[in-house]
Structure 1
Amino acid sequence: MTAVEDVFHEGGPRSDKPLRRGTIAAVIANPFAGAYVEDIAPFMETLKPLGLSLAQQLLKTLDVPVSEIESYGKGAIVGANGELEHGALWHVPGGYAMRELLGWKSSDSSESGQPDNALAIVPSTKKVGGIGASLDVPLTHINAIYVRSHFDAVEVRIPDGPRADEIVVVLAMGTGARVHARVGGLAASDISQWDGLR
């Protein structure tokens, strides 16, 4: 399920260019539902193609160039027969898919001398919930986690999921700061460290 939202204002002056936020969610079977399994980490490798596919589909749905994506986040809702750790399996497949799609290559600068894009860790949230549970997915700046204007969240809900043996996995992207951001902190234009933080 995909959703796109254009935010022109939140009670203040109307912006000429709206903030566009989008989410994509997929419902998958939880292979570990109903039992404690010690070694679950290999499932992350299984989820990597899904992560890349969802990231590509979300970018296409947002209908903006890669260069306009300024924030991202991810999350998971685990059905009642699963555990919170099953949602953590989405960290690598979801996060790295978006980072690579948006230009991250390595921790070093690219050959062109310009820093890579999508340097910041992708924020995340997860919970165990029943059918129709909602999840507030955090958003932060793709290159510097300390850019306060981009601290945001989007709500996601699948009306008929997750069932007890399912997991809802979510990716989110946005094109900018909150429309009326004005509480100071590091500005996106002042990113200087290119270390994912500042």
Structure 2
Amino acid sequence: MPDVQLRRMIYSVEEIFHEGGPPPETPLRRASALAIVANPFAGRYEPDIQWFMEPLKPLGLTMARKLVELLGGADQVQGYGKGAIVGTDGELEHGALWHAPGGYAMRELLHDSKAIVPSTKKVGGPGTRLDVPITHINASYVRSHFDAMEVGTPDAPRAGEMALALVMSTGARVHDRAGGLAAKDIKGEDGLR
């Protein structure tokens, strides 16, 4: 079982002060981590791929810890998401291997968060961009936290690589007013409401 071959790590932080309306008291912050790794299955169909999730777990934890640090601590994080871009010698299913290592890493660090971590994935070449969905960490139906952060880099993923992403945010969209379940009304029993 080979280790994860990491080529690059890219971290990004956004501060959103307004979207055309009045500035909030505290700007919304979103942060992303993007790991460029070798795809051990590139160029061939491999029936047994699940084993690769285990070596990805430490990478997920490293990325999640850095995002928590960039956003000022776990108590600041209210939203999260994950995604993968698989290089053109791979297949979409290779990106699905990131679901458990990426999702559980964030949930572990965010005080037993309840909501499923939303996800997206695609196959693409260098420069491909990915909109990573974000939802509230404890209740997926909190509409104010439905958001996304774009990730990508000009030189990845190469054909035999994958770009694995984690994203966190500190709150709702800056001018949220679409209604629905409010964060203050979360019961947190099932990860939905």
Using structure 1 for the length normalisation, give the TM-score. Answer: 0.91
Query: What CA distance in whole angstroms lies between the structure 2 residues aligned with 1:10 and 1:122?
Result: 26
Corresponding residue of 2:7: none
Corresponding residue of 1:142: 137
Measure how far apart 1:103 and its partner are.
Answer: 1.2
The answer (yes or no) to whether the contact 2:85–2:130 under 8 Å persists in 1 is yes
Structure 1 stretches of at least 4 aligned residues deviating more than 4 Å after TM superposition: none
Query: What CA distance in whole angstroms lies between the structure 2 residues aligned with 1:20 and 1:119?
Result: 21
Structure 2, gaps ≥5 residues long: 1-9
Q: Find the residue that maps to 1:42 and give its secondary structure.
A: helix
- Residue identity in the other structure for 2:36: V
Report percent identity of matched pairs: 65
The answer (yes or no) to whether the contact 2:91–2:123 under 8 Å persists in 1 is yes
Query: What CA distance in whole angstroms lies between the structure 2 residues aligned with 1:196 and 1:25?
Result: 26
Query: What CA distance in whole angstroms lies between the structure 1 residues aligned with 2:116 and 2:84?
Result: 16
Measure how far apart 1:159 and its partner are.
Answer: 1.3
Which whole-Å deviations, capped at 9, do the CAs of 1:133-163 have from their partners, x for residues lacking one?
A: 0000000000000000000000001111000
Corresponding residue of 1:110: none
Which whole-Å deviations, capped at 9, do the CAs of 1:4-46 have from their partners, x for residues lacking one?
A: 0011100111112000000000100000000000010010011
Corresponding residue of 1:10: 19
Corresponding residue of 1:50: 59
Which whole-Å deviations, capped at 9, do the CAs of 1:86-130 have from their partners, x for residues lacking one?
A: 0000000000000001111xxxxxxxxxxxxx1000000000001
Query: What CA distance in whole angstroms lies between the structure 1 residues aligned with 2:164 and 2:43?
Result: 19
1:94 aligns with 2:102: yes
Which whole-Å deviations, capped at 9, do the CAs of 1:50-100 have from their partners, x for residues lacking one?
A: 0001111121122x1211100000000000000000000000000000000
Corresponding residue of 2:179: 184
Measure how far apart 1:193 and its partner are.
Answer: 4.6
- Residue identity in the other structure for 1:136: D
Corresponding residue of 1:74: 82
Structure 1, gaps ≥5 residues long: 105-117
- Residue identity in the other structure for 1:90: W
Query: What CA distance in whole angstroms lies between the structure 2 residues aligned with 1:102 and 1:192?
Result: 17
Query: What CA distance in whole angstroms lies between the structure 2 residues aligned with 1:93 and 1:125?
Result: 14
- Residue identity in the other structure for 1:131: P
Match of 1:126 among 121, 125, 148: 121
The answer (yes or no) to whether the contact 2:138–2:188 under 8 Å persists in 1 is no
Q: Find the residue that maps to 2:60 and give its secondary structure.
A: helix
Using structure 2 for the length normalisation, give the TM-score. Answer: 0.94
- Residue identity in the other structure for 2:182: A
Corresponding residue of 1:157: 152
Note the aligned Cα RMSD (angstroms).
Answer: 0.7
Measure how far apart 1:194 and its partner are.
Answer: 2.1
- Residue identity in the other structure for 1:195: D
The answer (yes or no) to whether the contact 2:114–2:188 under 8 Å persists in 1 is no
